[in-house]
Structure 1
Amino acid sequence: MKKRSDWEIYLEILDTLKKMKLREEEIYKTNIMHEVNMNWKSFDKHFKYLEQKKFVQKNNKDYKITQEGKKLHNTLNKLNNLLT
């Protein structure tokens, strides 16, 4: 299995948040971590970056993608499509 780059991890986290929202699931960090198949230390580092840059924000008990996060998701999706 090849190692994922940071931007691939960010895309996968944002994808997972979006899918969980559509399924109307409660979005907790541990659920996201399991979905993206990462250990806690690595996941938390990447997730905190998304929070600090305001791409993701806490909403009561769970998390949501901000408008800037949606823009980032679209940009990373385009990049992913170009490279794969």
Structure 2
Amino acid sequence: MEKRGGEEEEEEGEEEEEEEEEEEEEEEEEEEEEEEEEEEEEEEEEEEEEEEEEEGEGGLDSAGDEASRVPSASTCNGSGYEG
């Protein structure tokens, strides 16, 4: 009888260990997925920033610095001023 009790306790201990290991694995997988999602979000943000920078080069920069642009010949009236 004592052997059976000891075996049952041993089996229960093994089952608990297996369950704990499975839970730990699941937690690790979830953490990895979260990290991957964060990395993807960061990459998307970087791409968006790069696109905005490229767009900004052709027109106004992020500060809206329109005054610093040199007026084109079509907007000049010959006196060097716009108008």
Short-chain TM bin = under 0.3
| Structure number with higher strand proportion | 1
TM-score normalised by structure 1 residue count: 0.24
Higher RCO (CA-CA < 8 Å; seq separation 6+): 1
Normalised TM-score (structure 2) = 0.24
Greater CA radius of gyration, 1 or 2?
A: 2
